[in-house]
């Protein structure tokens, strides 16, 4: 049975997206001198994210697990697409892909201990072996470390979204919805404020669209929304209802900065890949790759229901 709070929240989000989409179409039609293509891509990906997390929130844990597993797979695939690779690296990628269903199997059986160490310990230690056995020495460190970094973000980080419902079947779905709503809200506010009134760029060489004004205002808005909706979607107390907004905002900020620098480093001199990447879901889950594990472990540490 669907949680009424989750259904209402998703309907509100969908309604807000409809209004925002209509406003975008009107503004684009009346302002032909400005390029709104980037904003249009963001709106499309927000609709896609809404569909994925609606499935992950409303249906039983197995369907949610499969939906989130595919999200990890496509995010990792898009991450690999921006790497400068050679033929010898393909076997490395194959083993990286195979780790995804294994990681989600640990989630399915509820084995938290293996879930938490499988990628950062076992996969990290044994993943270089195919590259070594392939007799590849040139670029060994770069290819292995970049593959491990992708697994850490796009699989280990995002897979925490699936473990919420296993860790707490009663509250898991709503906690995921709570986390995703606040994460995407922070990204939207930060982007709009940075675009229209932001002046002080945080890292102008890597991502000129992130400003200190955007981060500060987005943090205040996200924290305010968190304080007002936590009682409907979570069993958190009043203090954590407030602190959750701050925690998620800082996590989103860190994720956006780190992955912006990562993409900048990987895409230097490749403008074609950079333009394609703007349309990918990789740019929409960068914040979630940070906020999902951080929020999960903080809540698990302080509350017995996890």
pLDDT tens by residue, 128-143: 887 777 666 667 778 8
Q: Helix or strand or coil: residue 284? A: coil
Residue 109: pLDDT band (50, 70, 90) is very high
pLDDT over threshold 90, residue 104: yes
pLDDT of 134 = 63
Cα–Cα distance for residue pair 78/88, rounded to 1 Å: 19
Supply the angle between the helices 238-266 and 212-233 in degrees, to the nearest 10.
140
Q: Is 180 exposed, middle or buried (0-12, 13-18, 19+ CB in 10 A)?
A: buried
- Residue of higher predicted confidence among 105 and 41: 105
Could you tell me the pTM of the whole model? 0.84
CA neighbor of 160 nearest in space, from 29, 69, 62: 69
Question: What are all long-range contacts of 164-170, with beta carbons under 8 Å and residues at least 24 apart?
Answer: 164/296, 165/61, 165/64, 166/61, 166/107, 166/108, 166/110, 167/112, 167/296, 167/300, 167/306, 168/305, 168/306, 169/61, 170/305
State the first-to-last Cα distance of the chain, in angstroms, to the nearest integer: 21
Cα–Cα distance for residue pair 195/208, rounded to 1 Å: 9
Task: Give the model confidence (pLDDT) of 266-296 as tens digits.
Answer: 764 455 555 555 555 566 678 889 999 999 9
Which structural domain range is residue 217 located in?
Answer: 4-302
pLDDT of 1 = 42
Residue in the block written with tokens 């790497």 = 83
Least confident of 203-207, 221-225, 246-250: 203-207
Bridge partners (DSSP) listed for residue 203: 207
Task: Give the model confidence (pLDDT) of 38-47 as tens digits.
Answer: 666 667 766 7
- Residue of higher predicted confidence among 144 and 98: 98
Total domains in the chain come to: 1
């Amino acid at each position: 049975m669907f949680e009424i709070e989750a259904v209402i929240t998703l309907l509100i989000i969908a309604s807000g997206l409809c209004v925002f989409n209509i406003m975008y179409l009107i503004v684009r039609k009346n302002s032909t001198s400005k390029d709104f293509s980037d904003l249009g891509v963001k709106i499309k990906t927000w609709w896609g994210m809404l569909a994925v997390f609606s499935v992950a929130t409303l249906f039983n844990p197995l369907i949610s697990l499969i939906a989130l597993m595919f999200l990890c797979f496509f995010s990792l695939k898009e991450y690999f697409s921006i790497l400068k690779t050679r033929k010898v690296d393909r076997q490395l990628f194959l083993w990286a892909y195979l780790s995804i269903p294994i990681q989600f199997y640990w989630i399915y059986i509820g084995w938290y201990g293996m879930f938490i160490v499988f990628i950062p310990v076992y996969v990290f230690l044994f993943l270089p072996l195919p590259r070594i056995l392939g007799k590849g020495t040139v670029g060994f460190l770069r290819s292995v470390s970049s593959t491990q970094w992708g697994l850490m973000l796009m699989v280990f980080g995002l897979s925490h979204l699936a473990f919420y419902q296993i860790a707490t079947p009663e509250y898991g779905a709503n906690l995921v919805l709570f986390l995703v709503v606040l994460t995407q809200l922070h990204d939207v506010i930060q982007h709009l404020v940075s675009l229209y009134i932001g002046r002080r760029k945080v890292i102008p060489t890597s991502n000129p669209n992130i400003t200190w004004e955007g981060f500060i205002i987005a943090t205040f808005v996200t924290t305010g929304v968190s304080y007002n909706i936590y009682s409907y979607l979570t069993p958190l107390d009043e203090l954590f209802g407030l602190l959750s907004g701050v925690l998620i905002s800082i996590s989103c900020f860190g994720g956006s900065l780190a992955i912006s620098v990562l993409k900048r480093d990987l895409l230097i001199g490749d403008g074609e890949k950079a333009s394609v990447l703007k349309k990918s879901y990789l740019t929409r889950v960068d914040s979630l790759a940070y906020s999902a594990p951080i929020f999960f472990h903080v809540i698990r540490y302080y509350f017995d229901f996890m």
